[in-house]
Amino acid sequence: MFSDEQIKEILVGQREALLRKAFGVERTVLNEIEHKINLPHVVVLTGLRRSGKSTILRQLIRKKYQDEDFYYINFEDERLFNFPASEFNKLYESLVSLFGKKKAFFLDEIQNVAHFETFVRRFYEEGFKFFITGSSATLLSKELGTKLTGRHVDIIVKPFSFREFLELKGLRVERNAIYRTESKVEIKKLFDEYLIQGGMPEYITYKDSELLTRVYEDTVLKDIAVRYGISNVLVLRNLYSALLSNFANKFSYNSLRRITDIRSANTIKKFIQYLEDTYFAKTIAKFDYSLKKQIVNDKKLYVADNGFVTTLSKKVTKDLGWLLENLVYNSLDKEGSVFYYSNKYECDFIVVKDKTVAKAIQVCYDLNENNRDREISGLQEAMETLNLPEGLLLTNSLEEEIKLGKKKIRVLPVWKWLLAGT
């Protein structure tokens, strides 16, 4: 299918393009990846499209492979669409011919090649090191699980954290900076930007919302519609539009059935799972000790980055509380399983870690006399029901401590909570 000359032209062009790529802000997740280098396992970087996976490969290639001792193939390249796995050996022979013998492969968006895992398994067993990126959790897990069970480690790459965003803006936060007046003013100013813009690397660099729209379109069309053979894309778009415009609100599959043209609740559930598998959004359930009730209770959906909310959502986002809540969720989900609490009152987030309820967190942009009792009551009820001695109430700027008998609530600005790593 591909001539030797065609393959070599593609490989040389891709390598040169990669080495010209800006090094960028060194990502925090790079430390986690570096710890995996000495393992024989395949390192799989998954995450949302354009969240920085390729840049992380670039950073790793410079730091650990001196921009020399590696092979790189980008399967997002349209010239390699429908590349057959049977041709992998021809790729390898061309790589050796062009660059000599190396022991590390960096493969970008490998899920675009059917049966890629066969090639990876064969070369893995011959002692090669693999770093693989992909934008589909299900496909990568399915394919790698077939041939490489127990032989790969997965690392999720997310959009820029607030600390990384600050570094991109030229502000490195040193120890105790959050307590210095001058630093606090600058940090708070940049946080206001981050809250609305989010942390998608290209978008915060170029400020062009079309970049975010394109990520969404590629996610819906390439990662979902094409991959799962969905012909009625309009129905898919309408469902996702309804979800994005009501993010952070409770919904049921049946309620979505009533406002879309999809008559099957199971189909709706399946379509939402496809969206989650691309890392574009995540649903959480109402907390309950019964797994069965967790499954049937209403869900809430959060979007992977606030930039998509302000660009795509039809919800009026002048109420910055919605954005603050979405941001907090995206900073929380790495800490454990996240739920919402609902009884007489509501609490935004319950974090369960190692099968134990660890945290109750309420999010409120501005705690004032109109909402103070409601916000505190929701958090207090969750703390009492779940036997937690302390709760956290995250706001835009307020900071205080509230005593409730033997229990207490810490009130913190979100920006300070993010930088403190709590």
Q: Is the pLDDT of residue 174 over 80?
A: no
Give, for 346, the enclosing helix (H) or strand (E): strand 346-353
Mean pLDDT of 393-416: 95
Q: Which amino acid is at 173?
A: V
Is residue 222 in a domain? no
Q: Is the pLDDT of residue 177 over 80?
A: no
Is residue 316 in a domain? no
Supply angle C-alpha 153, 154, 159, rounded to 5.
150
Is residue 200 in a domain? no
Distance separating alpha carbons of residues 208 and 197, to the nearest angstrom: 11
Instruction: Supply the CATH number for residue 125's domain.
Output: 3.40.50.300
pLDDT band at 275 (very low <50, low <70, confident <90, very high): very high
- For 396, the token pair is 């835009």
Boundary residue ending a domain (157, 185, 218): 157
Is residue 117 in a domain? yes
Q: Is 23 helix (H, G, I), strand (E, B) or coil?
A: coil
Instruction: Supply the CATH number for residue 336's domain.
Output: 3.40.1350
Q: Is 64 helix (H, G, I), strand (E, B) or coil?
A: helix
Kindly tell me the burial class for residue 248, based on how many C-beta atoms sit within 10 Å of its own C-beta (0-12, 13-18, 19 or more). Answer: buried
Quote the pLDDT of residue 184: 86
Quote the pLDDT of residue 8: 95
pLDDT band at 141 (very low <50, low <70, confident <90, very high): low
pLDDT band at 198 (very low <50, low <70, confident <90, very high): very high
Mean pLDDT of 210-232: 94
Quote the pLDDT of residue 422: 46
Is residue 201 in a domain? no
Mean pLDDT of 97-123: 90
Distance separating alpha carbons of residues 399 and 390, to the nearest angstrom: 15
The number of folded domains in the chain is: 2
Quote the pLDDT of residue 308: 96
Mean pLDDT of 255-276: 94
Quote the pLDDT of residue 140: 63
Dump pLDDT digits (tens) for 29-48. Answer: 999 999 888 899 999 999 99
Q: Which domain holds residue 402?
A: 324-422
Which of 143, 157, 156, 154 minimizes the C-alpha distance to 43? 154
Whole-angstrom Cα Rg for the chain: 23
Average pLDDT of the chain to the nearest whole number:
91
Quote the pLDDT of residue 181: 65
Supply angle C-alpha 51, 29, 110, rounded to 5.
50
Boundary residue ending a domain (114, 137, 157): 157
Is residue 247 in a domain? no
- Specify the pTM: 0.93
Kindly tell me the burial class for residue 370, based on how many C-beta atoms sit within 10 Å of its own C-beta (0-12, 13-18, 19 or more). Answer: exposed
pLDDT band at 417 (very low <50, low <70, confident <90, very high): very high
Quote the pLDDT of residue 316: 55
Quote the pLDDT of residue 383: 98
Is residue 172 in a domain? no
Q: Is the pLDDT of residue 317 over 60?
A: no
Boundary residue ending a domain (157, 174, 197): 157
Q: Is the pLDDT of residue 333 over 80?
A: no
Quote the pLDDT of residue 410: 97
pLDDT band at 318 (very low <50, low <70, confident <90, very high): low
Is residue 184 in a domain? no
